[in-house]
A and B are shown apart, each in its own frame.
Chain A
Amino acid sequence: MFMWPMGDRELIIDLLEALTSARVTHAFTIPGGVRNDVPYRFKEKALSQIGYLEKRLEEYEDIFYNNPLLRQRTEDVGILTKENAISLGVTGSVLRASGVPYDIRRAEPYDIYTEIDFKVQHMNKGDSFARSYVPFLDMQEACHILTQLLDKMPESGEVRAKLQPNPKGPAGESYKRVESGRGALGYYIVMMALQNLIE
């Protein structure tokens, strides 16, 4: 079972390689936009791969998540209640598996997420099974989101704004966070007066 996703992973890596010329470390998103435009017929290829992955996810659910052995070893094990999840400050799928439907993309929308229709997937039990199943639900939702994003992608236009090197600005501080694969990913940035960005 564990080798099958490795094969399907290649489909995603192929897309990323076509887009960025790199398989794993892409360095594609840069200040001002992205490094290059998408290659010819990228949208059609990506939609086809997403359709295939959606079908494969259904198979994985049957084989892995409906496996009686897995359920026996994970259900009612390591229960994290809603109250404890909030007080311990956990985030992402671990928090959502404890019955807290919190997703930064919904709570503090950024980029294009205000225009995207998606569900905040969550479960109520807070056990090990719920914590492993919520990422699976997130993958299904990601396919749904990607399809919408590809449909909204403009046919032409600039992909990168030119910025001055060594950005400078008024003194101040800022904290911004996004929803990543494992929950909240936050950056705290401090700008000193007339100096470069320090962190």
Chain B
Amino acid sequence: MSVGSFRNLLALPHLLVGSKMADMPSIYWSLNYWPVEADR
């Protein structure tokens, strides 16, 4: 099974490199990550 939440979370390390700490929440939430779906 392949779900969007899990696949999109893989972009997080790439997006956080070089970003400000204050920008972390908006980057994380913009990925529309849903743990329940990723866990499937």
Contacts and interface: CB of A to CB of B under 8 A. Distances in A.
Interface string B1-26: 11111011011001110010001001
Given A80-B15, A94-B8, A73 B2 contact: no
Contacts of A181: 4
Contact of B19 (A78, A93, A129, A185): A78
B4 A183 contact: yes
A93 B32 contact: yes
Chain B: number of interface residues, binned into ranges: 20 to 34
Would you call the interface of chain B mostly helix, strand, loop, or mixed? helix
A182 B8 contact: yes
B26 A128 contact: yes
Contacts of A73: 23, 26
A140 to B, nearest CB: 16
A1 to B, nearest CB: 15
9 contacts: A73-B23, A74-B26, A77-B19, A78-B16, A78-B27, A78-B30, A80-B14, A94-B11, A94-B31
Interface of B: 1-5, 7-8, 10-11, 14-16, 19, 23, 26-27, 29-32, 34, 37
